Amino acid sequence: MCVWRQRQRRMARAWALAALLASACADRGPSPDFQVQGVGVLVRSEATFTTQADLPARVESTLRAALDYWGGTFEQLAGVTITLDGASTVECRGVPGAIACYDGDIRVSTLDAGVTLDCVEQTALVHEVGHAVIGDRDHHDPRWMDFAPVAEALSGRDGYQPDGATACAMAVSRWRHPPCRH
């Protein structure tokens, strides 16, 4: 598509335009809405919690709790973009119908069984950070079936719904995944 456009417009403003298109082609995607510790966050959701002023701080502390659990550091997330997606499934290279994904970037749905979540802590972010830190696509590490320390670390926070504040209740079942058997 970039090549086609380049050909169409070459007559008009050859070099200036070619340079412009080349930089457009090299663009990795939309720029993040905000950054925490070098991690870009893209909000593609209307969930009430995504419009709150505390969102960056909540994302950061959730990432920190997840990194503590997985033994990782923010350096391991450098260059990763996290997308909070209002759709029930997210784009994921090679995995149709995923509700959350790590494929070099992290995408998490802000829905759970069609119901909008109350806070970023409830998303599968802590699960996907695990893949970013330890890989383990098949979930053989026993920590995929635990998550109790993360739930403990993130408990007692506020959640948000359109009609007001609620509790950000933790449910480890959203994060757990049994090992895949081949």
**Which span (3-11, 52-60, 108-116, 169-177) binds Zn ion, by CB under 5 A?**
169-177
Q: Helix, strand or coil for residue 50?
A: helix
């598509």: which residue's tokens?
A: 1
**Which span (48-56, 68-76, 81-89, 174-182) binds Zn ion, by CB under 5 A?**
174-182
Q: Least separation, in Å, of the C-beta of 77 and Zn ion?
A: 16
In this structure, what is the dihedral angle of CA atoms 18, 19, 20, 26, given to the nearest 10 degrees?
A: 110
Q: Least separation, in Å, of the C-beta of 15 and Zn ion?
A: 47
**Interface of this chain with Zn ion, residues 2 to 21, rule: CB under 5 A:** none
Of the pair 144, 160, the CB lying nearest Zn ion is at 144
For residues 121-144, one letter each, b for 16 or more C-beta atoms within 10 angstroms of the residue's C-beta and e for the rest, the string is bbbbbbbbbbbbbeeeeebeeebb
Binding track over 122-161 against Zn ion, x by CB under 5 A: ----------------------------------------
Query: Residue 171 carries which DSSP code?
Result: -
**Interface of this chain with Zn ion, residues 58 to 87, rule: CB under 5 A:** none
Q: Find the residue with minimal CB distance to Zn ion.
A: 177
Residues in the chain: 182
Q: Least separation, in Å, of the C-beta of 127 and Zn ion?
A: 6
Helix (H) or strand (E) holding 108: strand 106-109
Q: Least separation, in Å, of the C-beta of 44 and Zn ion?
A: 21
Q: In degrees rounded to 5, what are phi and psi of residue 122?
A: -75, -15
CA atoms of 118 and 161, how far apart (whole Å) = 6
- Interface with Zn ion (CB under 5 A): 177
